[in-house]
Structure 1
């Protein structure tokens, strides 16, 4: 059964503190978060939201702003908002080649565009489901600002017929994972910046955004030189740097960081268990943030 065509917008509220109040100004009673269940108010303002975007509306004007090129993605469909929201919930998890599942931030225009570029025909059809088209902001500089569902061109196409993925989540091939590498690093930098603002206020409160971003970038680069890849392990390394920026200059610490026999998620813990004499060296090497 064909319904009335409508345009919806996915809003990435986590990328900027200004997004939630602006969304409420224009779509307070029509927007819905796409997660399941009740969401705590503190979390609600950072979750992805879905809202109808009629032509001539404030949301449409917002969508056209160049500043939103990495924050908003639109889609066209003939199903209701609730059916569309249900479909999006089947896309919230991604299954990586190692079998592990992770949150899939498909509402980020860069993530979505990269996935659609790398996905095969079957994966793309399942991902589209009831969606006929995705639209990216022209100012985003993407090769294909519009993606259309090839299945929707068939006269027999039924947007209610299914789509989406099972409990294992969206399958991510190694090729797609490789294509995500730059985005994953950018997302890590954003996550650590937000983590510092929320959890490390005793250290970050005196820093402006530019300086804090610089320090986050330097910390990630330092962690990567020791083979850190896991985001949780890199966060632990970053946290240690906020306490003693140059802790890796101590020989005993560096030996641990370079030891490939120690899992990366245990290296910082191993450093903290060094004896008092060694730890006194850590405290004496200075508080200047490395470049």
Structure 2
């Protein structure tokens, strides 16, 4: 799988220096409203037979392993081995979602529009172990020059920039058992859905704020 663009828009490829650290303090403009959250939930969980997961980015979210230990104990790190604590804190994590759980609120309410991660709608019967194995296979990509680099697909800015450039074979290889992916849109009142078998351009979901 080749791609020229693996870094998120406006930020470095490793997600370190220059990446904003999202918070949930009062006045945080990233957080969507309750009505928008409910619309997003309806879209994400609308395909009833398909399991839903999120991949969240420890390089963006403060204390992600501790948060997951409290709200999503079934979460799994996409990096393998006995990790240094600093690397573990900055790693991506895969977690299952269900309607209006603490894990879902973390992914779809607290972190939406703050670049915390992406949401995956998988094929029926896909479990977290097989999905993690697939995602680990697409963590690294080859540049046109032949270099191997980390593909931070779990940063929605990178996802929506890179995935539309894939040819059909690359798209099939990348999605694998994933039926489609939701990311935040380029505007704060929208979400994007990238279907595995759909057009290159994503479907846009308007998240209307309550009057």
Are residues 1:96 and 2:143 paired? yes
Distance across 2 between alignment mates of 1:105 and 1:67:
17
TM-score scaled by length of structure 2: 0.63
Counterpart of 2:12 in structure 1 is: none
TM superposition shift of 1:139: 7.1
Q: Deviations over 1:153-208 (max 9, x none)?
A: xxxxxxxxxxxxxxxxxxxxxxxxxxxxxxxxxxxxxxxxxxxxxxxxxxxxxxxx
TM superposition shift of 1:48: 0.3
Distance across 1 between alignment mates of 2:168 and 2:97:
28
TM superposition shift of 1:38: 2.6
From 57, 71, 74, give the equivalent of 1:30: 74
Distance across 2 between alignment mates of 1:118 and 1:144:
19
**Secondary structure at 1:145's aligned position in 2?**
strand
Are residues 1:137 and 2:184 paired? yes
Counterpart of 2:60 in structure 1 is: 15
Higher helix proportion (structure 1 or 2): 1
Counterpart of 2:84 in structure 1 is: 40
Counterpart of 1:168 in structure 2 is: none
Counterpart of 1:6 in structure 2 is: 51
TM superposition shift of 1:141: 4.9
Q: Deviations over 1:209-256 (max 9, x none)?
A: xxxxxxxxxxxxxxxxxxxxxxxxxxxxxxxxxxxxxxxxxxxxxxxx
TM superposition shift of 1:58: 0.9
Distance across 2 between alignment mates of 1:39 and 1:15:
18
TM superposition shift of 1:49: 0.2
Higher strand proportion (structure 1 or 2): 2
Judging changes above 3 Å, is the alpha-carbon distance between structure 1 residues 31 and 140 closer, same or farther for their aligned structure 2 residues? farther
Counterpart of 1:54 in structure 2 is: 98
Judging changes above 3 Å, is the alpha-carbon distance between structure 1 residues 104 and 96 closer, same or farther for their aligned structure 2 residues? same
Aligned residues: 147
Distance across 1 between alignment mates of 2:80 and 2:93:
12
- Is the contact between residue 185 and residue 191 of structure 2 (CA under 8 Å) also seen in structure 1? no
Unaligned runs of 5+ in 2: 1-48, 199-211
Alignment of 1:191-210 (within 5 A): none
Distance across 2 between alignment mates of 1:58 and 1:147:
25
TM-score scaled by length of structure 1: 0.46
Flag the structure with larger Rg: 1
Judging changes above 3 Å, is the alpha-carbon distance between structure 1 residues 105 and 150 closer, same or farther for their aligned structure 2 residues? same
- Is the contact between residue 9 and residue 53 of structure 1 (CA under 8 Å) also seen in structure 2? yes
RMSD value, Cα: 2.3
- Is the contact between residue 66 and residue 139 of structure 1 (CA under 8 Å) also seen in structure 2? no
Judging changes above 3 Å, is the alpha-carbon distance between structure 1 residues 35 and 67 closer, same or farther for their aligned structure 2 residues? closer
- Is the contact between residue 63 and residue 137 of structure 1 (CA under 8 Å) also seen in structure 2? no
Unaligned runs of 5+ in 1: 152-291
Judging changes above 3 Å, is the alpha-carbon distance between structure 1 residues 92 and 49 closer, same or farther for their aligned structure 2 residues? same
**Secondary structure at 1:147's aligned position in 2?**
strand
